[in-house]
Amino acid sequence: MYAVGNSVMAVLLDNVSLFLLWTVYMHSVSNGQDIVYHWKSLDYSWPNSTVKQQYIADKQFIVENNVISGIKVLDGNVYVTVPRWKPGVPSTLNKIITNPTNIEESILEPYPTWRMQTLGDCGALQYVQSMEVDPNTGYMWIIDVGRINIQTDQPQNICPAKLIIYDVRNDRLVHVHEFPDAVVSRTSNFMNDIVLDYVNGVATFAYITDSADAKLIVYDHNRDTSYYFKHASMEIEPGTETIVVGDNNVTTRVTIDGIAMSSDFHFVYYCALNAYWLYRVPTNVLRNTSAIFYVETVGRKIDLTGGMVFTDTALYYGGLTTNAVYKWSFGQVNNQEMILSNNTSLRWVDSLAMDDQQNLWLVANGLDLFVAGRMDFAKTHMYIWKIPMGENGYLSSAITRTKDETSSVIIG
């Protein structure tokens, strides 16, 4: 038996108290109080049952090829993507609604319309992996890969890649930018994620990751032009190709994937999916098509990750091998911490987003099982979480925060 001093005992009791509080918190969120949607399989808001049966008969709707990936929230509405990785995905961009014939069920309503989901129509959406919504304007910035079935042996290069700006609040098309083939390849691109950059009170630039060709694509809205940067930091790290999730091993080679904008619009952060290291580049470099690319190494993440998002206080990212969400608070000594973990409902955190009410939203979809052909659609694998954070997203009040601001990031 050892004697323990009062001060040491106080520290021990404090640590025990913190541990108990953390355990209670982890238990409560793991029990699903913040899980707002979950699915075994997806269904859509069909015009009628005849149309649905025709889609099934024509193999335009193959249930086991439909998995939710991207997420954004605007004015209380939740928008999600269903990538056309394989055949049989009827709608690639959707809004979650309640099934009018079964209020206990949530289904997907094609957004903005069914017609905009038409395969082979280059004026419609072919394959949307991600989008960004701007709460200041109500605009949705949608990246369309233009290619489909890219996870099969026979990908189809149907249309040029494009960026669509859509006014959600007024239901109107604002602008379409078709990427030149020299910027975004029509036959090999995998445009993955997007962030916006405010300059002088206006969303002026969009930065997009291309996970197939290892590029950071820049779109200049004022000039309606696009260009790209390439750098070794955008490639995969050797030895990370095999990702172990529970009892499943999945082999991938996904380059630059996750991207996040700092809340002051001074830096873009990015990483490859198959990489631990996080990098950042000043926006005043990206805004200049002739700039010499300059990149900084931020540090090593605890886990591999796909999606990430910045708030006004920290960076949040998903941990693919640990089924977790991490918070990275820059400027602190021990600046990375796990804030959520669940081996079932947080398996493969694919995308994260902040709404305009200080909530963090995320999609966990068990994608490792989908890629390996092991997903059991009789079990729940797709989850959407909503977590109150008390923090603002990077786009919050961006108009006023950047009005008349001259961006100046000193390099060196």
Would the pLDDT of 407 be above 70?
Answer: no
The confidence score (pLDDT) of residue 33 equals 47
Closest CA to 196 of 142, 234, 155: 142
Q: CA–CA distance from 180 to each of 131, 156, 219, 227, 228 (Å)?
A: 20, 18, 11, 9, 11
Closest CA to 311 of 358, 257, 364: 358
The confidence score (pLDDT) of residue 194 equals 99
The CATH code belonging to domain 36-402 is 2.120.10.30
* Band of pLDDT at residue 406, cut at 50, 70 and 90: low
393/357 Cα distance (integer angstroms): 9
Tell me what the mean pLDDT of segment 163-186 comes to: 99
Question: Do 279 and 271 meet the contact criterion of CB atoms below 8 Å apart?
Answer: yes
The confidence score (pLDDT) of residue 408 equals 46
Per-residue pLDDT of 205-261, as tens digits, reads 999 999 999 999 999 999 999 999 999 999 999 999 999 999 999 999 999 999 999
How much is the pTM?
0.91
The confidence score (pLDDT) of residue 252 equals 95
Rounded to 5 degrees, what are φ and ψ at 285? -80, -45
Cβ-in-10-Å burial (0-12, 13-18, 19+) of 222 comes to exposed
Per-residue pLDDT of 310-359, as tens digits, reads 999 999 999 999 999 999 998 776 799 999 999 999 999 999 999 999 99
Look at residue 237 and give its three-state secondary structure: coil
The confidence score (pLDDT) of residue 333 equals 65
The confidence score (pLDDT) of residue 19 equals 41
Tell me what the mean pLDDT of segment 175-198 comes to: 99
* Band of pLDDT at residue 29, cut at 50, 70 and 90: very low
Look at residue 165 and give its three-state secondary structure: strand
Tell me what the mean pLDDT of segment 145-156 comes to: 98
Would the pLDDT of 22 be above 60?
Answer: no
Determine the Cα angle at 316 with ends 311 and 319, to 5°.
Answer: 170
Which tokens is 371 given? 């890629």
Would the pLDDT of 298 be above 50?
Answer: yes
Q: CA–CA distance from 333 to each of 117, 155, 330 (Å)?
A: 48, 46, 8
Tell me what the mean pLDDT of segment 288-294 comes to: 92
28/20 Cα distance (integer angstroms): 12
Would the pLDDT of 139 be above 90?
Answer: yes
Would the pLDDT of 180 be above 50?
Answer: yes
Share of the chain above pLDDT 70, in %: 90
Beta strands in 180-323 (DSSP E): 191-199, 202-210, 215-220, 225-229, 242-245, 248-251, 256-261, 267-272, 277-282, 296-300, 308-310, 315-319
Would the pLDDT of 179 be above 60?
Answer: yes
The confidence score (pLDDT) of residue 1 equals 33
Q: CA–CA distance from 216 to each of 165, 189, 198, 219, 381 (Å)?
A: 19, 12, 18, 10, 31
Of the given ranges (15-24, 52-61, 135-144), which has the lowest mean pLDDT? 15-24
Q: Which residue has the higher pLDDT, 27 or 391?
A: 391
Q: CA–CA distance from 121 to each of 117, 165, 169, 286 (Å)?
A: 8, 18, 25, 32
